[in-house]
Amino acid sequence: MNKNNYKNQPTTETTTTPSSSTPINNDYKKWTIDQVYEWSQNQEDIRKYAENLKQQEIKGIDLESLTYNELVKEPLKFSAGSAKSLLRAIQQLTGNSKNQGICY
Beta pairing class for 23-24 and 15-16: antiparallel
Domain ranges, residue 56: 27-104
Q: Is residue 80 part of a domain?
A: yes
Q: Is residue 61 part of a domain?
A: yes
Q: Is residue 91 part of a domain?
A: yes
CATH number of domain containing 45: 1.10.150.50
- In sequence order, the 6+-apart residues with CB closer than 8 A to the CB of 102 are 64, 66, 67, 68, 87, 90, 91, 96
Q: Is residue 12 part of a domain?
A: no
Q: Is residue 3 part of a domain?
A: no
Q: Is residue 98 part of a domain?
A: yes
Q: Is residue 8 part of a domain?
A: no
Per-residue pLDDT of the chain (104 residues; tens, 9 = 90+): 554 444 444 333 444 444 444 445 569 999 999 999 999 999 998 999 999 999 999 999 999 999 999 999 999 999 999 999 999 999 999 887 654 444 54
- Domains held by the chain: number: 1
What is the pTM (predicted TM-score) of this model? 0.69
